[in-house]
Amino acid sequence: MSRIDEALRRAGASGAEAPDEQVFVSAWESDGHAALHETHAAPPPRSAGMARRHGESERVTGFSHEQVVTLNPSSRERLALADGDPTLVEQFRRLAATLHHAQATSKIKVIMMTSASPNDGKTLTAVNLALVLSESYRKRVLLIDADLRRPSLGNIADITDAPGLNDTLKAKNDQKVALLQLTPTLMLLPAGRPDTDPMRALTSVRMRHIVEEAAERFDWVILDAPPMCPLADGSLLSQMVDGAVFVVRAGQTQFPEVQRAVDALGRERILGVVLNGVAHMPSDPYEAPKTAVAEITA
């Protein structure tokens, strides 16, 4: 019996019910926990991002509305794939190594990716980190699009109009989370339909329980959170995670915005900073500088 089922049983026995909150059954399939924790042989090596197509057999079981999807081909050159830009891949391996060490020492599992303002590259950073953790470290990773106002992960994965987190949070009846499989070890929970006012959904008991149970079922849970400065959404999500990775875009993010975002988030909550869009000068003077390389500072 999960913690959620036990809590509901006790609540039913006492007759207590939280105000303005609908009592609900766990948003996860009952057999999902067991399926993810079964001991099985590791899948054969394969390139990150090369998800299996519909009808193929290797999939994580126990979730509602399972669907195998692929990464958008137009995004491949910006992704930390095994056959991609080696400099980009190595930078994200550094970030993954830092987080791997932090997990070994501090038991962190749930992190959020955020920035001071829009267009700093937090979504792409979240995807690349998820790819490296799942492929290089062979970890079971859940990537959640928690930017309910302006979801972006659908642009990276080749999906349109997929139900997601917002649909589960706002469902009147019990509704299971709808996960999409990107690779055998990387699952995506899309945001679903955009919401201009997601405050009630983000502060709901159901949202907290979804994050808590995700941490029980996966090795890593990564939330692609909204930027910190324009809205309060990121501050609300920061209370549900073990820490945050902060993304700054070189030559674009303004220092006062960074200061305000860090103050809102709390310095002690920041696990590391990603300086995105750095121009690296090549050793060959006739070669053009490379851009969009992430540098990581723990």
Q: Determine the Cα–Cα distance for residues 2 and 5; give it in Å rounded to an integer.
A: 5
Instruction: Report pLDDT digits (tens) over 106-129.
Output: 999 999 999 998 889 999 999 999
CB 158 within 8 A of CB 190: no
Instruction: Report pLDDT digits (tens) over 237-280.
Output: 999 999 999 999 988 899 999 999 999 999 999 998 998 887 65
SS3 133: helix
For residues 261-290, one letter each, b for 16 or more C-beta atoms within 10 angstroms of the residue's C-beta and e for the rest, the string is bbebbeeebbbbbbbbbbeeeeeeeeeeee
Distances (CA, A) of 202 to 49, 166, 237, 270: 29, 9, 7, 21
From the options 3.40.50.10190, 2.30.30.110, 1.20.1250.20, 3.40.50.300, give the CATH code of 3-7+47-297: 3.40.50.300
What is the pLDDT at residue 70? 73
Q: Which of 209, 195, 152, 154 is nearest to 8 (CA)?
A: 209
Helix, strand counts (H, E) of the chain? 10, 9
Average pLDDT over residues 127-137: 91
Helices (H), ranges, 60-160: 86-106, 122-135, 153-156
What's the predicted TM-score (pTM) here? 0.74
List the single range of 137-151, 198-212, 282-296 with lowest mean pLDDT. Answer: 282-296
Q: Determine the Cα–Cα distance for residues 2 and 30; give it in Å rounded to an integer.
A: 9
More confident residue, 173 or 170: 170
Measured at the CA of 75, the angle between CA 73 and CA 81, to 5 degrees, comes to 90
Is pLDDT of 1 > 70?
A: no
The pLDDT confidence band at residue 153, using thresholds 50, 70 and 90, is confident
The pLDDT confidence band at residue 207, using thresholds 50, 70 and 90, is very high
* Phi, psi torsion values for 189, nearest 5 degrees: -110, 100
CB 178 within 8 A of CB 65: yes
Is pLDDT of 224 > 60?
A: yes
For the record, the structure tokens of 241 come out as 């995670």
Q: To 10 degrees, the CA torsion angle through 151, 153, 159, 165?
A: -60
Percent of the chain with pLDDT over 70: 69
Strand partners, 114: 246
CB 112 within 8 A of CB 241: yes
More confident residue, 250 or 51: 250
Instruction: Report pLDDT digits (tens) over 13-36.
Output: 433 333 344 444 567 664 443 334
Domain ranges of the chain: 3-7+47-297
Is pLDDT of 283 > 80?
A: no
Q: What are the DSSP E strand ranges found in the chain?
A: 64-68, 110-115, 141-145, 178-183, 186-189, 220-224, 243-249, 270-280, 290-297
